[in-house]
Amino acid sequence: MSTSVTIVCVAGEASGDASCAALIQAVRKRLPAVRLWGVGGRRMAEGGVQLLYDSSRWGAVGVVEALRLAPALWLAQQNLKRRLAQQPPDLLVLVDFGAFNVPLAKWAKQRGIKVFYYFPPGSWRRYLPRRNDLPNCTDCIVTPFPWSAELLRQAGANAYFVGHPLLDRVHPSLSEEEFCERLNLNPEHLRIGLLPGSRRQEVRALLPTMRKAAELLSDLEPGAQFVLALAPSVQEEEVQRAFAGSTVQWRIVREMTYDVMAHSHLLWCCSGTATLEAAILGTPMIILYRGSWLMEMEYHIRKRSLNLTFIGLPNLIAQRSICPELLQHSATPQNIVAYSLTLLPGTEGHLLQREALQEVKSLLGEPGATERAAHLLLECLDVHHANTR
């Protein structure tokens, strides 16, 4: 096959954007002339993907948010289908974002377009949903969890476990000494890292609670230092308003999330991919989630229908409680502080959680997942041998 290849990539949220960007970077090493377009965020655009739509604001939490976004997503999907029909690519690469991507995969497969699914939705589950369309609408599935690959193969899919790509990119860029020096932190004092999420509604719900908890903890632990790691999608002005008049000394940083995770003694972390990133770095955490009453109702319905005991990825992967989960009304400043005191350095809780997080990391395979996924992608394209001879 000629190296003049077109790949269309579709990713929804920040984590999918980052994973897809790393994958296409690995593919470009082997196929420098590859043409890339699709749907994604800033990192995919920086990696050379010509974006038909910027999906960085498509992340929805709860029914209300999903309904608000539904018309725009439907229109985007129709336009994307029209473009795919006019200019069929050599391969359609879909990353997570199941509500959008699974119907797109079925549509594309029916029209003879090859489909490569990276990060199948819900792959952390130890079971497949009763109705699972992925085996019939994909040519290759690459999943970050070994049990997911096994379940999909049993269902008839061409599925592979390559390890978790977060292992390739989750590492600090600064030493602890450099981190403290850059942020003017006292290396001898307690450091708490705050990760309020990447979605606007998550941040708005959690920031006031985090602020109050920090003020309470500062009374009990004089000298405690708080570093807030902002996602690219979060406006700093909104954070400044939330913390105006606070008695606590805050550091607000961007593009330093892994440094904050690695060099904090404890993390207050919104439920999501960040909890798994923190687990890889081995930093104890409290997992938080707050939303509207409608979102709380949906959470309970989903938890019951999916038979979920936990929502935090480290707990889901370990299938036991490793990190405290404070959800909705339980996510109070008082509860955050109470659990924090049991997880500070020198406590048994701190040591036990660090050991458990290492076990979670061991279930994610070995580094090199992105390169292995790129190899499988090229095999799906049937260009691997032609370009490595």
> pLDDT per residue over 146-194, tens digit each?
999 999 999 999 999 999 999 999 999 999 999 999 999 999 999 999 9
At residue 30 the predicted structure's pLDDT band, cuts being 50, 70 and 90, is very high
User: Does the residue 181 lie in any domain?
Assistant: yes
- How far is Cα 153 from Cα 131, in angstroms, rounded to an integer? 15
Percent of the chain with pLDDT over 90: 73
At residue 92 the predicted structure's pLDDT band, cuts being 50, 70 and 90, is very high
Question: Largest Cα–Cα distance of the chain, in whole Å?
Answer: 67
User: Does the residue 170 lie in any domain?
Assistant: no
Residues 50 and 182 both lie in one domain:
no
Domain count, the chain: 2
User: Tokens 């992340």 sit at which residue?
Assistant: 59
User: Does the residue 1 lie in any domain?
Assistant: no
User: Does the residue 156 lie in any domain?
Assistant: yes
Task: Write out the two tokens for 179.
Answer: 């981190």
Residues 322 and 352 both lie in one domain:
yes
- Report the pLDDT averaged over residues 234-244: 82
Residues 100 and 240 both lie in one domain:
no
Residues 143 and 201 both lie in one domain:
no
Residues 377 and 340 both lie in one domain:
no
Determine the pLDDT at residue 60: 54
Determine the pLDDT at residue 67: 61
State yes or no: pLDDT of 385 exceeds 60.
no
DSSP 338-352: HHHHTTSTTSHHHHH
User: Does the residue 258 lie in any domain?
Assistant: yes
Residues 13 and 139 both lie in one domain:
yes
User: Does the residue 382 lie in any domain?
Assistant: yes
Side-chain-facing half-sphere of 230: CA atoms under 13 Å: 17
Determine the pLDDT at residue 358: 98
Residues 205 and 137 both lie in one domain:
no
Residues 52 and 191 both lie in one domain:
no
Residues 155 and 263 both lie in one domain:
no
Look up the pTM and report it: 0.88
Does 243 or 90 have the greater pLDDT score?
90
- Report the pLDDT averaged over residues 85-108: 95
DSSP structural state of residue 128: -
- Report the pLDDT averaged over residues 30-57: 93
Percentages of the chain per state (helix, strand, coil), in multiples of 5: 50, 15, 35
For residue 90, give the CATH number of its domain.
3.40.50.2000
Residues 137 and 210 both lie in one domain:
no
Determine the pLDDT at residue 66: 58
User: Does the residue 171 lie in any domain?
Assistant: no
Residues 194 and 54 both lie in one domain:
no
Determine the pLDDT at residue 63: 47
Residues 252 and 146 both lie in one domain:
no
What domain range includes position 100? Answer: 6-165+368-388
At residue 388 the predicted structure's pLDDT band, cuts being 50, 70 and 90, is very low
